Amino acid sequence: MAIIVDNDTKLVVQGATGREGSFHTLRNRAYGTDVVAGVTPGKGGQDLEGIPIFDTVAEAVEETGANTSMVFVPARFAADAIYEDVDAGIETVICIAEGLPAHEMLRIFNYIKPRGITMLGPNCPGALSPGKANVGIIPAEIFREGRIGLVSRSGTLTYQIGHELTQLGLGNSTIVGIGGDPVVGSSFIDVLAKFEADEETEVVVLVGEIGGAEEEKAAEFIGSEMTKPVVGYIAGFSAPPGKTMGHAGAIISGTAGTAEGKKEALEAHGVRVGTTPTEAAQLAAEVAGAVRA
């Protein structure tokens, strides 16, 4: 079944004719994703190696039945692009663009949630359901099909742990990058709930980092709502307090948001937490083996 992206995904890419947008649009299509359209205002009627380009998302949806959008436009245009997606009837929005102001994302969040829109990002690598669809910038060649769900605030750590699982002979049902900004479209809890309902997922790996309280909230949800085992990894054990480490959301305030605090919160609810990506993958392999035994 997979979550967020699958064989039923019909993708429209906003910014498909730009340098980065075209590169990843074609990579997504080469993987097998059904890329049905691109959108670049003023370039309607053109095509990108056979992918039709439209002036608006509404036109693309009407002509192609697109149900998922990848936002690959500069940050100053990204908010308008997201609103355009929602108003055109897009069901899933994956915003790769970074640099959106937090106050603008708050408006977007309050716009999409009542409408039931699934959104990843901004500042995220996207979602990959191996063997089905890749929407974003995830290097799909290092992953394989399997039954381990993976959700992360970090792109590169997602890649590393996924690759470690591949080397252990395991695979993933879906890999989800929620984004590293302070305000994003989907929380850990949103994605964990989808994995809990997904019959193709047996084990979930949660990759967090310092800053905020999302991992602590996820720990409470895991303890009260999830029946599937979860393995964790928290980046930032050696990060100095008060420093932004990589992502805009990765900042510690006082004693809140530390790696040790997040680890303790997860472990209190039965989540085994690795101290390195390799250890986290090994723990996931152990748990997966126990589930199948």
Rounded-to-integer distance, Cα 225 and Cα 132, Å: 28
- Single out the catalytic residue among 24, 163, 247, 269: 247
Active site residue 247: yes
Tokens describing residue 257: 């948001």
Q: Which residues are catalytic?
A: 247
